[in-house]
Every structure is written in C-alpha cells, then in structure tokens.
C-alpha cells in the first residue's frame, strides 16, 4: 500500500516550517546585519554541510504556555551531530529569529541533551550563541533548565573540548554557559556578551553605555580576557573553530614542512632575533615560527595579556602547546592578566594530554602598587600551581633571562620540567647582575675609593661566575646547553622520549588552586 499524499504533504510542510525559522523577513534582517542564519552556520560548520538533528520538532510545553504569543518547532535552537574535520562532533546553534533566541525549558533541554551525548561519546561540543537570555515568561522553569546546563558544563570541563562562539547577543542566563567553555570566539561589530544589558544598567545605576562598549569584542578580547578569538565575520569565525579543533582533537597531522633540514639557517635567524644584549626587545613569535612546523602556530588570546604568548603548534606533525614570554611587551615581565592566561592554558593542555614547550625570557613579575593591589601574588600563584599540577610532558627552553620567582613560575626544573635546555647567552639568577651587586655590596661600594669602578668589577665578576647557564647546569638545574640550530631537533627527540611518561599523583579529591 502506497502512503497517501497527505502524509507526505504534512512531512514537507513541517520541514518547511523549520527552515523559515521566525519568518523570511527576520532572516533577511540578519543578512542585512552581515550575519548568517543559524542553519547557514550549521551547514558551514559540518563537513560537506551534512549533519543530523536532535529533537528537531520540540516545542515549548511549560505550564505557562498560554502566555506565549506563538510556539515554534525546535523552540529557537538547532541541535546536531556530524563530522567536523572527519571527527564526530556535537553542536547547537541558537536562532535569534525566534523569540530573540531566548532560552526556555525546551530550548535549554535540547542543548543539555546534546552536551550529554557529547559526554557519552567523548566528542567535542560547540555552541553557536545568539540569544537575549532566558525566557522571562517561563520564569524559574527556564532558570532550572539553565542550572542543569551549567552543571553539565562543569562535568564536561577537562573531559571534552567545549567551544563557544558569540555570534550575536549573548546576555543574562545565556551568558554563563559559554563563559564556562574552554575557548570563546566573538565576531567584530555583531557580538555582544554581558550579564546585564545597557537598559537595565541605566535603570539601576544611571550609567548610559552602548552594547558595544559594554560587552563588544574589543572589551572581551583586550580587557576582560573572556574572549580568546575575534573574527571579522561569521564565516571566518566558523573556519577558526574548525582550525582549533584540528589541534585539540587531531593530535597528529602533517603540515607543509614537518621535518626541517635547514637547522643552521634557522639557527642564524634565531641569533639575529635574540641578541646577546639582554635589554634588546624582540617578538617571540618570530622565534616560535623558526622552531615549529612551518605555518603551524595557532595563537590564542593574542590581544589579552600580551606579555605572554600561548597557542598550539605542530612539532614533527604532533600537537604541542606553547607558553612563551613576550619581551616586546612589558619586557616580558609577568602581570596578573598574563598569569591567568597562562595558567588556564596549561590546565587545558594537561586535561587533554597535549605536551608543553615553555620558552623563557623573563625579567621577573611586573612590579608596582597597582599589580600588588590587583593581587599579583594570587594570580602568579595560579601559574606555579598549574605547571606543578600538570603531569603531561613539559620541556623548558631558557632563551635569555630567567630571573627570580618568575623563573620558578615559568616551569623551572624543580617546578616539574622534565627537560630544561638553555642557550649559551642565557642568564639564570635571582635578579640581574647590577641589582644583585647593589644589594650584596651596597656598603662596600659606598666606602670604595672609586665606587663606579669597584661596582663594575663586581658586576663583571658576578656575570662571569654565576650569570650563565653553565653554573646552573653544574647544579643540575639545566640538562643541556645547546645552540639555537640544535633546538628543534633536541625538543622533538625529548618529546618523543617522554611520550609514555607516567607520574604519581597523590590521592585526593582535588587541590585548591588560588582562584
């Protein structure tokens, strides 16, 4: 017996309702703003635009449904699974053309069910956020659903990668879940991300502020540090998400030039970048590009805490995390923002078994009353804690300066580095020679016949005896002094030797990181 035409018509009409979302006019308005629709985003995210939906036809079903002007199939969110870069992934995309993307009970439960499936299958979870917040008409029922989502975000943390993209408004209750994700993307001009919007702020405090100044991409990428990436448009945002997944989920993949044989040429280039003059500034990203597989460095949070550089790369085709001091910003000194940025990245790498290369050129923690009031002791302790806690292979390379407590915080040998390499020009000490001599010989300098000459003699003597990698190596703090041209090969060999590393972890519920 052949199915009657009405059955097929009902099916086709139902599908048609899904694809027009909140109406063709609203879809057109999104395009006018330079935004893609929720379904266009999903199609772009998954390989070959192929994905399967979860709870596709769900509608709002709360006891307060009579307050709704209209209910919609899917309740304003698309939940899917499919392949991204050949890897199974789960994703949700909020549809702002339906009730402004506001999250009611059914809406949020769809997100929860998708995240639960990602947890069951140990697959990455991506949330494309475009929501004005919780549905006010659903009251505490909506809030209860969001509470479950926050609980699941916590359970998923460190178990599967969680990635959020703010691709429109993300406010109120909707803002907490993406804030709990591992990485957050924003789009210039069309993304706004905040707990309380300008209208409510004006009513409560009298402050008048635009949405962009309150929670735009510049605010969160440069000042709050909430956003890790800022993209020009929706299409670029989705491509960058896929690129990030390429590192976090595909641990080994060849790049353009995996094995480099021009070590001497690279060594000469590094020597030109990192000069013997400890006061000479340089961009550490140029050094990174010399050591890693060609064009493989993927920087994270490039606009926040710029005095430290973090990101993923390939070394001989294998995913590796990099933490590096940045001498061209604050001389590479570590402040509160850099500490937070570094510690969170180290803990991510440790959670997902990604080995770490730490590149050190640090004069110390950034001094001053402002940093002390901000809590540099607490923030700096996060770095010490994260490196010490991490059980992944960790290799440190001391390029030039390694002074004081900042050297300890950058994963010294005693802090848990498995291997420590040093270039011949590096200086490892509590502080620079000038400062050390001024403290140690203060009285003698004042009493000397020629104070300037006496001080310089002591500085030269201190540098010769102590301010070099060979003294540190004689004490077992450096495993090997190497030339820049040897560095890439040494690091690759060391990581290969450490790939089966195991470490005893003290049995306890968990530590208490100084948050």
Could you list the active site residues? Answer: 172-173, 405-406
Q: CA-CA distances (angstroms) from residue 259 to 255, 291, 420?
A: 9, 11, 22
Cα–Cα distance measured from residue 12 to residue 369, given in angstroms and rounded to the nearest whole number? 67
β partners of residue 298: 312
> Do 424 and 481 contact (CB within 8 A), yes or no?
yes
CA distance 223 to 344: 16
Among 366, 361, 357, smallest CA distance to 339 is for 366
Q: How many angstroms separate the CA atoms of 189 and 200, rounded?
A: 21
Q: Are strands 298-300 and 308-315 parallel, antiparallel or unpaired?
A: antiparallel
Rounded Cα distance, 201 and 417, in Å: 48
Specify the DSSP class assigned to residue 178.
H
Angle between helices 284-291 and 263-273 (to 10 degrees): 170
Rg of the chain (C-alpha set) = 27
**Residue 276: φ, ψ to 5°:** -70, -25
Q: CA 353 to CA 122: how far, in whole Å?
A: 14
Nearest to 242 by CA among 48, 81, 44: 44
Give strand pairing partners of 230: 186
User: HEC profile for 371-404?
Assistant: HHHHCHHHHHHHHHHHHHHCCCCEEEEEEEEEEH
Angle at 420 between CA 417 and CA 422, to 5 degrees: 150
Q: How far apart are CA 216 and CA 220, in angstroms?
A: 7
Between the alpha carbon of residue 408 and those of residues 45, 222, 384, 388, 396, the distances in Å are: 42, 27, 7, 10, 11
CB-based contact 511:314 (threshold 8 Å) = no
DSSP string, 12-44: HHHHHHHHHTT-HHHHHHHHHTTPPPHHHHHHH
């Amino acid at each position: 017996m052949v199915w009657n035409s009405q059955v097929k018509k009902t099916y086709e009409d139902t599908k048609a309702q899904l694809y027009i979302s909140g109406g063709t006019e609203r879809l057109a308005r999104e395009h006018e703003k330079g935004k893609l629709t929720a379904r266009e985003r999903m199609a772009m995210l998954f390989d070959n635009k192929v994905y399967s939906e979860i709870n596709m036809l769900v509608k709002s079903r709360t006891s307060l449904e009579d307050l709704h002007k209209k209910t919609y199939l899917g309740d304003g969110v698309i939940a899917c699974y499919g392949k991204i870069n050949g890897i199974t992934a789960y994703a949700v995309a909020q549809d702002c053309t339906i009730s402004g993307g506001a999250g009611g009970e059914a809406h949020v439960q769809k997100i929860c069910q998708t995240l639960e499936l990602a947890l069951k299958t140990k697959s990455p979870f991506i949330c494309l956020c475009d929501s004005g917040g919780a549905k006010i008409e659903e009251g505490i029922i909506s809030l209860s659903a969001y509470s479950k989502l926050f609980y699941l975000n916590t359970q998923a943390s460190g178990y599967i990668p969680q990635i959020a993209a703010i691709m429109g408004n993300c406010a109120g209750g909707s803002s907490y879940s993406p804030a709990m994700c591992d990485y957050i993307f924003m789009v210039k001009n069309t993304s706004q991300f905040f707990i309380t919007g300008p209208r409510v702020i004006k009513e409560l405090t009298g402050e008048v502020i635009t949405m962009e100044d309150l929670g735009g991409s510049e605010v969160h990428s440069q000042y709050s540090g909430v956003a890790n990436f800022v993209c020009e448009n929706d299409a670029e945002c989705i491509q960058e998400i896929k690129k990030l997944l390429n590192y976090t989920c595909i641990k080994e993949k060849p790049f353009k030039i995996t094995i480099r044989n021009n070590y001497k040429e690279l060594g000469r280039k590094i020597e030109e970048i990192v000069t013997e003059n400890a006061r000479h500034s340089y961009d550490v990203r140029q050094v990174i590009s010399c050591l890693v597989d060609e064009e493989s460095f993927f920087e994270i949070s490039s606009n926040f805490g710029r005095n430290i550089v973090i990101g993923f790369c390939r070394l001989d085709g294998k995913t590796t995390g990099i933490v590096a001091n940045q001498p061209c910003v604050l001389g590479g000194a570590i402040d509160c923002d850099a500490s937070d940025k570094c510690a969170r990245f180290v803990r991510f790498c440790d959670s997902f078994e990604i080995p770490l290369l730490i590149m050190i050129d640090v004069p110390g923690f950034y001094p001053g009353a402002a940093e002390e009031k901000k809590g540099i002791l607490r923030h700096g302790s996060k770095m010490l804690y994260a490196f010490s806690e991490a059980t992944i292979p960790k290799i440190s390379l001391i390029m030039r300066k390694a002074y004081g407590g900042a050297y300890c915080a950058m994963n010294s040998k005693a802090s848990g580095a498995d291997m420590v390499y040093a270039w011949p020009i590096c200086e490892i000490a509590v502080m620079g020679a000038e400062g050390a001599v001024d403290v140690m010989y203060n009285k003698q300098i004042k009493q000397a016949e020629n104070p300037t000459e006496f001080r310089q003699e002591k500085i030269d003597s201190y540098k010769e005896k102590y301010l070099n990698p060979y003294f540190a190596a004689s004490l077992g703090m450096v495993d090997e002094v190497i030339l820049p041209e040897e560095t890439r090969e040494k690091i690759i060999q060391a990581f290969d030797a450490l790939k089966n590393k195991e470490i005893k972890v003290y049995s306890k519920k968990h530590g208490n990181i100084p948050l």
